[in-house]
Structure 1
């Protein structure tokens, strides 16, 4: 099985290149794809900081690259974008594709403990395997300078991963993140099935619970949330996270955007702010 990444497509954009790769993941036990956007390089030996994007439910590694328009500012700021897939694929686990909010395309960026879902180790894939793969195979990437952001389920992933690994990431932001999964239907379904009934384990993947455990968050957390998002009140609940940040004295910039929904139109509108937020932290 080829663990080294193989390039499967390349498209020039804003002077740089969107490149898609395939590799075998020992952690997930299947082949995976991911995208990198390489900005135009000022010199042969130049190294770019890395900004990881985690996508939401039903997405692949392609949605963000094709729909967000993030490459324009990533190019001018000199930041490489890395977009992994959202779950293992092709394992043919019974029930893996029965619903859109669990299984394939819905890895929730956690390490499953239930035997049936033992391949769903997206937390370790994003935090450990993928950065190691990048540092070993792409000398133009400076993986020690990294930040992370995401959308919806991916916003949940970005926040929880950042809070547990502040030594690995300089900054975090999110669009319409799932901030309190232990208290919403999407989260409860995923956490019960992947982790079982021990609620203490669920809290390890809940940003609102984690924020109180990790004092000393110094970088401002940026969150954009559309006010016309149909998932706002029953699934996303950003005010729960806002309250927890206030109690923990964590700097949060929560921007409620009137008229915007949960889509990539919303993401594309505010993506430049997020890229610049991270570029500032990465280039300090």
Structure 2
């Protein structure tokens, strides 16, 4: 497969019946070179297939998901293109963007910052849901009517926020151990003060718990699937799933929350339940025809 337009291929390897690629491109949205992984099954060489976008968590690059999750076997079996972007702009040389593992490089939180120091480059919400989304449809054999989004931790937050803010773009959403209430979590408060200043109304615009209360888009056919490990070290201070569950109940929004006994926050947890998420998205795609 030759490199699609606007993209530079960095690597490619056959895996199962398809290929795992890594590409880079110059992003006009975040003002730097961005990398992403994309698995293309053999089926996509002949026809348009569903797309799943996976958003990774804090400290991750485009490599973590494609090297640790075992996603290639499932993407091949289900016939899905699976694409995963980096988690932030890199190399922008903004003072303070690499001082803390929980903020800045590797920690863009999938928001569009409004504070002037960050607003030029830290526009990951627009990158994922406009530039990256469009790039995938343009350059790969994607069925635009069957696109889902999911993610882990910070990326689970990003997936939920993307779904609630852009309901016309996604047929399905799921998450592993998402940060459910960013505007009150310890990670979120620290990051959002920098990205948005003191206006907490701006913080709430990128908070799944807040967004579900005002969501007016189409509801999924089956409750949104969220998996959470019971032994996750970040559960109490940072993830706060009970707040999203309560907000969904008040809004009569369907959610299926599964606490998985003994599992932590790692990719061992993700790989264990990843196929359940593929099954979930597959059913949503079939129901949306």
Match of 1:277 in 2: 280
Q: Contact (CA 8 Å) 2:167, 2:217: kept in 1 or not?
A: no
Q: Contact (CA 8 Å) 2:75, 2:81: kept in 1 or not?
A: yes
- C-alpha distance 205-90 of structure 1, shift in aligned 2 (>3 A): same
> Which one of 211, 227, 231 corresponds to residue 228 of structure 1?
231
Match of 1:165 in 2: 166
Q: Contact (CA 8 Å) 2:149, 2:159: kept in 1 or not?
A: yes
Deviations 1:45-64 (A, max 9, x none): 31111100000000001100
Distance 1:45 1:268 in 2: 28
Q: After the TM superposition, list the runs of 4 or more consecutive aligned residues in structure 1 that deviate by more than 6 angstroms.
A: none
Task: Compute the displacement of 1:217 (Å).
Answer: 4.7
How do 1:201-216 and structure 2 match up within 5 A? Answer: 201-215=202-216
Distance 1:101 1:210 in 2: 23
> Which one of 24, 32, 35 corresponds to residue 33 of structure 1?
35
Q: Contact (CA 8 Å) 1:134, 1:143: kept in 2 or not?
A: no
Distance 2:259 2:283 in 1: 22
Q: Contact (CA 8 Å) 1:27, 1:121: kept in 2 or not?
A: yes
Match of 1:60 in 2: 61
Pairs aligned (count) = 281
How do 1:80-99 and structure 2 match up within 5 A? Answer: 80-99=81-100
> 1:274 is paired with a residue of what secondary structure?
helix
**TM-score, normalized by length of structure 2?**
0.94
> 1:276 is paired with a residue of what secondary structure?
helix
Task: Compute the displacement of 1:216 (Å).
Answer: 5.0
Match of 2:254 in 1: 251
Tell me, which stretches of 5 or more residues in structure 2 are unaligned? none
Distance 2:213 2:53 in 1: 24
